[in-house]
């Protein structure tokens, strides 16, 4: 649990790449969280470690962990310890926080400086963006050829960062430029499409949802977008942004003031109805606006790095030059020191273990992986005694995985140190050549077995987090735990109406095993927080309005500001719960599949993702973001269980909820297992031909298994009758 708590929520997903020459493609991945898919070849599991000031005693209050009994007899030690804790109350001291903030500040400033240089000329953005999209190497090798971006010729850059860090700056700049360029391409394509077809523009503005045909049209029109789930969603985001701008333009021109987005939308739809008095005028206005954008360009804003993060992913070799250095604390078990190299102009502090001398900022963190493994093994023992075989299996596997990750981390540290020793040895005269050969061999070995990527640092508020991406164990762990196994079954997963996921496994003898995955307690908790937040928001809005009326222009009083912070904190909690829901759902899915030896698993894809009809009345509905995350998590977990990456598929779910999985006829939704009268959104599915009832979500899940099999199956008919898409 503590691991989940430490996870960082709203990070932009970036990929960690291993190896120097990985094809850099445009990425539209905006999913949040801890699993990240980089190229299709490797996926990493990102784990977080929270950083502490070096002097701090890291608290290890896990469940079941008692204070060290040796302290019990010594009251002085206890009071000393508690005074340290009381003194700060924060994991990171203010001094360290300040140094780190300056360090990050320099980095962010450098990135933004380079971005502003590039963005001062639209032509250059276009040329460099295109270059990056086609370039199959690290972004920094391309960007450092530019004279005003490179290190050698720019004194102002030298003042901000040291040379090696500048690589990270270039890499970050390159990523942001490429993402923005791809987005611009989509915008320009969307505007072209809308300019050529006023009907499409009208459809976009009139309908509540962004029309799927339009999304597909724009996506297929744009060269730089991929025809996949995320490309679809990326395009949808662009169209949504465009619609927002048009809506605002219309309302501003008519001088209508509406604050709430949903109401703005309603108003515009109303104004554009066929019988509206303003219809002609508005259509003319929008057409002109779109035309003007196509001819003169859309008013894009230049991207800027805003969050305080430092990404070391441009570093692949393990020299001290890359700016971070790990050492193990010899006195405290499983604690690791992280030394950061501080850029010029900022005061660091000397540390005996650090190679950066006076330019060092040191943090410590607890490597919680071994203790997590021990606790899982203990739980597995208990489960075994109680005869819970599957529980035992999953816990044993997780323990093995934690141990594997711990080894990866230790390997990284060893790699750093051996490589460093080797360099020093080579510089010195009269060293034993055999010793050098021995070290070279060691370096080679740790390099080969290296399976974790360079870390990333995040600063949020006064919390500092280190994220380390670990490569999936890909079978080596699972074969050790489980031995050889045969997998033959197929499974389908449907986004359920009442449970987040309905899962059905079809075995070789065509019998089914079903599971409705519920996370009721989490959903309830989420609902409670949401109720609390919405009450708080309306209260604060009212207060703010009153304040603005009386004392316009003055800043809000502390009470309102405190409530604002409370709202933000509650949203963070909700997001965290969402991630926990996704994690639990994914884990149940994977282990149920493992239990029934599933070889292939099919999910509803994201392409036509919309909220279920009537879902507003239900307690919980998975967002597309979470659904994507569940799929990614399942994929990662299955890969680490040594399944092929082609063992998880996404399919078009069209008609799967209306068709009987036995005979393929269309059926109806009914209230319960006895009813035969149609009820929209009913929990059960009734097929007249088979005269049978099924749970509606299970029926859909079983259909999903066979979407790929034949063109007669549901979901494959998409091209013949696209207009039916709204039926599902
Ligand atoms: Zn039937």
Count the domains in the chain.
Answer: 3
Distance 648 CA to ligand 1 centre (A): 27
User: Which residues touch 677 (CB under 8 Å, ≥6 apart)?
Assistant: 670, 671
Distance 668 CA to ligand 1 centre (A): 11
Residue-level pLDDT at 310: 78
Distance 659 CA to ligand 1 centre (A): 8
Structural domain ending residue among the three candidates 245, 275, 296: 296
Pair 575, 707 in one domain: yes
Distance 666 CA to ligand 1 centre (A): 8
Sign of the CA dihedral running 210, 216, 218, 223 = positive
Low-confidence ranges of the chain (pLDDT < 50): 1-41, 63-66, 86, 88, 227, 611-619, 711-728
CATH of the domain at 588: 3.30.420.140
Sign of the CA dihedral running 243, 247, 248, 249 = positive
Distance 673 CA to ligand 1 centre (A): 15
User: Is 51 a member of any domain?
Assistant: no
Helix, strand and coil content of the chain, in percent to the nearest 5, comes to 50, 15, 35
Cβ distance 328 to 336 under 8 Å? yes
Distance 664 CA to ligand 1 centre (A): 6
Pair 521, 650 in one domain: yes
User: Is 719 a member of any domain?
Assistant: yes
End-to-end CA distance of the chain: 38
Pair 291, 427 in one domain: no
Residue-level pLDDT at 524: 83
Distance 581 CA to ligand 1 centre (A): 33
Structural domain ending residue among the three candidates 393, 426, 452: 452
User: Is 361 a member of any domain?
Assistant: no
Distance 506 CA to ligand 1 centre (A): 17
Distance 451 CA to ligand 1 centre (A): 50
Distance 714 CA to ligand 1 centre (A): 13
User: Is 152 a member of any domain?
Assistant: no
User: Is 439 a member of any domain?
Assistant: yes
Distance 690 CA to ligand 1 centre (A): 4
Pair 207, 273 in one domain: yes
Pair 444, 524 in one domain: no
Distance 592 CA to ligand 1 centre (A): 27
User: Is 459 a member of any domain?
Assistant: no
Instruction: Work out the burial of residue 594: count CB atoms within 10 Å of its CB; fewer than 13 is exposed, 13-18 middle, 19 or more buried.
Output: buried
User: Is 182 a member of any domain?
Assistant: no
Pair 644, 695 in one domain: yes
Measuring CA to CA, which residue among 700, 352, 364 is closest to residue 503? 700
Distance 607 CA to ligand 1 centre (A): 27
Distance 691 CA to ligand 1 centre (A): 7
Pair 513, 659 in one domain: yes
Distance 655 CA to ligand 1 centre (A): 14
User: Is 103 a member of any domain?
Assistant: no
Distance 720 CA to ligand 1 centre (A): 23
Distance 564 CA to ligand 1 centre (A): 54
d(CA 414, CA 259): 57
Distance 669 CA to ligand 1 centre (A): 13
Distance 588 CA to ligand 1 centre (A): 29
User: Which residues touch 471 (CB under 8 Å, ≥6 apart)?
Assistant: 18, 42, 43, 44, 45, 408, 451, 452, 453
Pair 264, 388 in one domain: no
Could you list the residue range(s) of the whole structural domain that residue 229 is in? 197-296
Distance 703 CA to ligand 1 centre (A): 12
d(CA 284, CA 570): 44
Distance 568 CA to ligand 1 centre (A): 49
Pair 523, 655 in one domain: yes
Distance 548 CA to ligand 1 centre (A): 63
Distance 341 CA to ligand 1 centre (A): 67
pLDDT tens by residue, 432-454: 888 888 888 888 888 777 777 88
Residue-level pLDDT at 461: 75
d(CA 139, CA 146): 12
Distance 599 CA to ligand 1 centre (A): 26
Distance 687 CA to ligand 1 centre (A): 5
Residue-level pLDDT at 74: 65
Distance 670 CA to ligand 1 centre (A): 14
Pair 639, 555 in one domain: yes
Residue-level pLDDT at 469: 85
pLDDT tens by residue, 643-688: 887 788 888 878 888 899 988 889 898 988 888 888 887 889 999 8
Structural domain ending residue among the three candidates 261, 296, 331: 296
Distance 705 CA to ligand 1 centre (A): 16
Residue-level pLDDT at 224: 67
Strands 648-651 and 598-604: parallel
User: Which residues touch 625 (CB under 8 Å, ≥6 apart)?
Assistant: 30, 31, 32
Distance 665 CA to ligand 1 centre (A): 6
Distance 589 CA to ligand 1 centre (A): 27
Distance 717 CA to ligand 1 centre (A): 19
Distance 631 CA to ligand 1 centre (A): 29
Distance 657 CA to ligand 1 centre (A): 13
Pair 692, 543 in one domain: yes
Pair 432, 556 in one domain: no
Distance 711 CA to ligand 1 centre (A): 18
Distance 694 CA to ligand 1 centre (A): 10
């Amino acid at each position: 649990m503590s691991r989940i708590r430490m996870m960082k929520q709203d990070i932009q997903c970036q990929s960690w790449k291993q190896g120097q020459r990985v094809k850099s493609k445009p990425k539209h991945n905006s999913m949040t969280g801890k699993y990240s898919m980089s190229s299709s070849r490797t996926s990493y599991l990102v784990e977080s470690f929270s950083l502490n000031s070096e002097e701090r005693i890291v608290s290890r209050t896990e469940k079941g962990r008692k204070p060290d009994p040796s302290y019990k007899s010594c009251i002085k030690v206890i009071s000393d310890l508690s005074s340290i804790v009381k003194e700060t109350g924060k994991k990171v001291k203010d001094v360290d926080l300040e140094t780190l903030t300056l360090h990050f500040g320099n980095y962010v400033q450098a990135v933004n400086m380079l971005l502003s240089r590039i963005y001062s000329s639209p032509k250059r953005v276009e040329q460099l963006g295109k270059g990056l999209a086609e370039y199959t190497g690290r972004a920094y090798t391309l960007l450092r050829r530019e004279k005003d971006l490179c290190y050698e010729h720019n004194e102002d850059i030298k003042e901000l960062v040291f040379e090696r860090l500048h690589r990270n700056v270039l890499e970050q700049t390159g990523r942001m430029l490429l993402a923005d360029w791809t987005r611009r391409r989509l915008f320009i394509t969307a505007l072209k499409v809308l300019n050529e077809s006023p009907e499409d523009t009208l459809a976009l503005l009139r309908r509540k949802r962004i029309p799927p045909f339009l999304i597909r049209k724009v996506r297929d029109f744009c060269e730089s977008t991929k025809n996949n789930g995320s490309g679809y969603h990326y395009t949808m985001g662009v169209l949504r942004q465009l619609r927002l701008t048009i809506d605002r333009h219309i309302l501003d021109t008519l001088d209508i003031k509406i604050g709430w987005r949903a109401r703005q939308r309603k108003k515009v739809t109303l104004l554009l109805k066929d019988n509206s008095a303003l219809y002609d005028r508005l259509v003319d206005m929008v057409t002109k606006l779109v035309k003007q954008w196509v001819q003169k360009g859309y008013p894009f804003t230049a991207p800027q790095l805003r969050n305080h993060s430092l990404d070391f992913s441009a570093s692949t070799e393990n020299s001290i030059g890359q700016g971070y250095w790990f050492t193990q604390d010899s006195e405290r078990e499983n604690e690791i020191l992280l030394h950061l190299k501080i850029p010029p102009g900022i005061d660091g502090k000397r540390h005996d273990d650090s190679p950066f001398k006076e330019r060092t900022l040191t943090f410590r963190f607890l490597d919680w992986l071994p203790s997590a493994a021990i606790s899982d093994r203990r739980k597995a023992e208990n489960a075994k005694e109680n005869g819970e075989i599957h529980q035992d299996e999953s816990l044993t596997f997780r323990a093995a995985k934690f141990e594997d990750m711990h080894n990866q981390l230790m390997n990284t540290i060893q790699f750093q140190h051996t490589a460093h020793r080797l360099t020093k040895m080579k510089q010195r005269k009269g060293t034993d050549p055999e010793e050098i050969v021995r070290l070279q061999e060691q370096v080679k070995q740790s390099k080969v077995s290296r399976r974790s990527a360079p870390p990333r640092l995040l600063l949020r508020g006064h919390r500092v987090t280190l994220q380390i991406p670990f490569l999936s164990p890909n079978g080596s762990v699972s074969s050790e735990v489980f031995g050889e196994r045969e997998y033959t079954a197929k499974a389908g997963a449907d986004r359920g109406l009442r449970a987040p996921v309905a899962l059905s496994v079809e075995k070789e003898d065509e019998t089914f095993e079903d599971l409705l995955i519920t996370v009721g307690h989490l959903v309830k908790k989420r609902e409670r927080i949401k109720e609390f937040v919405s009450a708080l928001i309306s209260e604060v809005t009212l207060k703010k309005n009153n304040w603005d009326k009386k004392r316009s222009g003055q800043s809000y009083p502390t009470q309102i500001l405190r409530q604002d912070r409370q709202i933000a904190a509650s949203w963070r909690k909700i997001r965290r719960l969402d991630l926990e829901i996704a994690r639990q759902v994914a884990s149940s899915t994977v282990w149920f599949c493992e239990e029934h030896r599933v070889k292939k698993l099919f999910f509803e894809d994201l392409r036509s993702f919309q909220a279920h009809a009537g879902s507003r009345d239900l307690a919980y509905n998975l967002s597309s973001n979470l659904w994507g995350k569940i799929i990614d998590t399942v994929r990662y977990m299955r890969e680490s269980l040594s399944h092929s990456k082609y063992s998880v598929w996404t399919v078009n779910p069209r008609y799967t909820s209306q068709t009987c999985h036995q005979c393929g006829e269309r059926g109806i939704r009914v209230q319960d297992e006895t009813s035969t009268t149609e009820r929209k959104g009913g929990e059960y599915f009734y097929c007249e031909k088979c005269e049978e009832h099924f749970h509606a979500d299970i029926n859909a899940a079983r259909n999903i298994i066979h979407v790929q099999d034949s063109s007669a199956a549901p979901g494959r008919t998409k091209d013949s009758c696209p207009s039916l898409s709204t039926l599902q």
